[in-house]
Every structure is written in structure tokens, then in C-alpha cells.
Amino acid sequence: MTYNVQPWQAGTLAENIAKAGVSRRDFMKFCSGLAAIYAVGTPALANAAPAQKAAQSIAKALGEVQKPNVVWLQLQECTGCMESVLRSGGTTVEEVVLNLLSVNYNELIMAAAGEAAEKALADTNAQPHILVVNGSVPMKDNGIYCTIGGRSAEDVLRESAENATMILAVGACAVYGSVQAARPNPTGAVGVDEIIKDKPVINVAGCPPIGEVITASLAYILTHGEAPELDSEGRPLFAYGQRIHDSCPRRAHFDAGQYVRTFDDAGARDGWCLYDVGCKGPSTFSPCPILQWNLKSGWPIGAGHPCIGCTEKHFYDRFTPFYDKLPNIPGFGIEVTAEKVGLGLTGLVAAGVAAHAGVTAVKAAADRKATANSPMAAFGDKVETSPATATPAASTGTTSAASTGTATATTSTTDTTDPKSEA
């Protein structure tokens, strides 16, 4: 459905949404979606009553919001985070809410330019406001690599943060510096929380983040008057509390030892696990399998491409080459926290988890060991395989390597070296 989104007029958010053509029913569906996002992976979803009550509470609080002052900066970035929301496949209630909330200043979608835009920024900065930031902050050479109106990104950020009641760093660039901060980091790019030290920064990670997570983070602030509970890296737990691996529809194939070896083999066509072609889902915390993109029509793994771990710190340096597989740490379960994965699985932890995983993990480890040197071809490449490393036949659902008996699950610690500390 297409809504008629107008600049904020007098009244509450509920009144402005109604003027845009959003029905009460659609607004309640939107609030129910927010309630579901806040409860991702929790038992609350198993019972309709708590979810309905939460949706009603959100609708009441959000509907009563008066015009919020929002500054939305776009620094050293590609605009992909805004596109994740604005190009979702159709006009949604999320877009209506987001457009209404960000009307004061947003360089991508605002009509004002030049002096008028600078005045809008200055006027909003002078009042209490919510600050949303896309993009990293270049620090090298006095920040000349990203300037706005002749001012460095750092200066604009510091000024906008001064009266901010809440700060959201949205996207991998704003959170960790992302690709710009990858070695050798020629612009000296850093994330927002490396500049702003005197206020908490909510990190909405991803390249790009899912549009609904961006909206949900803003809506949480407006309805609760405070930041949501955060993990050790400053990410909202409601969205980043579980690994992609935990909810991945291909998880059963991982447990069964059924892996894609090349992007055009039988396993790829049958939707097998992408672990061996580089999937970083086992070490990536994100709600991608649950929320997805483009009106919930797809996401990378669903399209047959391995996760690259874009919600994780320094993912570009830690996880490249993207098509190399993670260290051989099979069997860790949903009880593993972000902190444990981030610090790396020690031999003791990995051994305990592998034992907990049981026979399935042992079979998986044996299969990976047998095919450790298997070629990893690009789509369309023809790969010659030996009988020992051949892709398992779809009809059997097992591999010849896994069926030969047992093997000792190998362990490895993940690399936790800060890329920036390396020469």
C-alpha cells in the first residue's frame, strides 16, 4: 500500500500517521511487529496474550509521542543504511514512522539544501534531540576525507552530540568503521563511540542493518524513554541476542554434516549448509533469518550466499577472505554468548561444547576433515573431485566420509587480535 507521507503537523504521532492514510489496523500490525522484534527468540512469542498486551502498550506510548527532534547525520558511508529502509519494496508503516521522525535533518531525503540545511541542523542541535549517525568518522589529516559544508565529520558529530538525549550509531560504518577502517585504514576511520565518550551510544550493527531493527530501536527509545538493554558491544539485545546459526533454516544440514562444497554443486541446489564456503553465521549475532529484508522476501543465506559477519566488530579484517571457512569449532550451541564467541573458543570450552553436541557434531567434524582440501569454486567453475572429497549425493543425505566411522572433533581458537594493533 502507498501512504501519503507529509511533514509533521500539529498533534501526536498517531494523528500524523492517520493523516498519512495509515489505518488503526495497520498501525496495530506495525506495533505487533515491534513487540515481536523486542521478543525475538524469547518464550513470549509462544504465547499470544503477552505479545498482544505488549503491542497495545507500544501503540499507546508511540501514538502519544509529540514531534521528536531528530538529527540524522550521514558521514563517511554509502547511504546503504537508509536505502535498506527506503527501498524495501513498498511503502510500509515503518517508513511512515521513520520519515516523520527524521524530518528535522537528514541529508539524503530532506528537501532543504545549502544554508537552509545548515540552519535546520543548527536549530535542531540547539534543542534536546535524538541523534542518529550513519557512516564512520575519518580522523586522519584533520578529517579532510569527509566534510559537510566545509566542516569535518568529527566537528559536525561532536556538535550534534552535545545536546543529544540519545545517540544511535546505525550501520557497520558508524559502529566499527567497517570497510573504511579495514587495514591499512587510509582515512583513519573510526566508529561513533570512539569519538563520543561521555554518552552511551546504541550500536545498530549491520551492512546494512535491517530496516525494521533501525525503526524498532528508535521506537523503543520513544516508547520507553531510555535505551534498550545492550550487549557487550553496545548492540540492542532484542535484535542481536542470538547468532544467525541458531535460527538458520539450514542448521539441520550443518548438524547432519551436509555442506555445500562449491556454489554449483548438488548441495547448493538442495539448500545445504554454507559453512564450508565461508558462512560466518556461527559467529555472527543478528536477527537476519527471522526478520529478513525487502518485506521479508529474502536474505543472503536464503539466496544461497554465505553470511559475511557484517554485524561483528572489524568483520572485514577478521572474516576475509569471505569464502574461507571459520576455524573448525563444531557443535557449540545456543548457550554460547557473544562474549564467548568474540573472545574465541579455548580448547577447554570447545571440548566441552563438542561433547555436548554428541554424535552429530562428530560426524560433521569427520566430514569437514575429509574435505579440508576440497576446491572452493566460483559459480560455474567445474571442479574435479576425488571419491574421498566428492559432494554427497542428495539422495542419501550423508557423506562417504561421515559414514566411515568416528573421528575426533578438532578445536581451534578464533583470532581475536585487534586489526588496528597490527602493522
- The overall longest dimension of the chain from CA atoms, in Å, is 73
Same-domain status, 205 and 260 = no
pLDDT of residue 93: 72
- The per-residue pLDDT for 398 is 39
Please tell me the predicted confidence (pLDDT) of residue 2. Answer: 67
User: What pLDDT is stored for residue 6 in this prediction?
Assistant: 73
CB-based contact 245:281 (threshold 8 Å): yes
- 282-333 pLDDT, tens digit each: 999 999 998 888 777 889 999 999 999 999 999 999 898 899 887 654 444 4
Using a 10 angstrom Cβ sphere, with 0-12 exposed, 13-18 middle and 19 or more buried, the burial of residue 423 is exposed
Do 271 and 204 reside in the same domain of the chain? Answer: no
- CA nearest 170: which of 139, 192, 187? 192
Q: Are residues 257 and 221 in the same domain?
A: no
According to the model, what pLDDT value does residue 393 have? Answer: 41
Distance, CA of 132 to chain centre: 16
| Residues in the chain, pLDDT under 70 | 1-2, 5, 40-51, 87-92, 99, 101-103, 327-423
**Angle, to 10 degrees, between the axis of helix 93-101 and the axis of helix 211-224?**
60
CATH number, residue 360:
4.10.480.10
- How far, in Å, CA of 326 to CA of 277, rounded? 9
Q: Which of 212, 240, 268 is the last residue of a domain?
A: 240
Are 219 and 317 within one domain? no
Same domain, 209 and 269: no
In angstroms, the CA 357 to CA 368 distance is: 16
Supply the range of the domain harboring residue 362.
247-421
Contact between 288 and 250 under an 8 Å Cβ cutoff? The reply is no
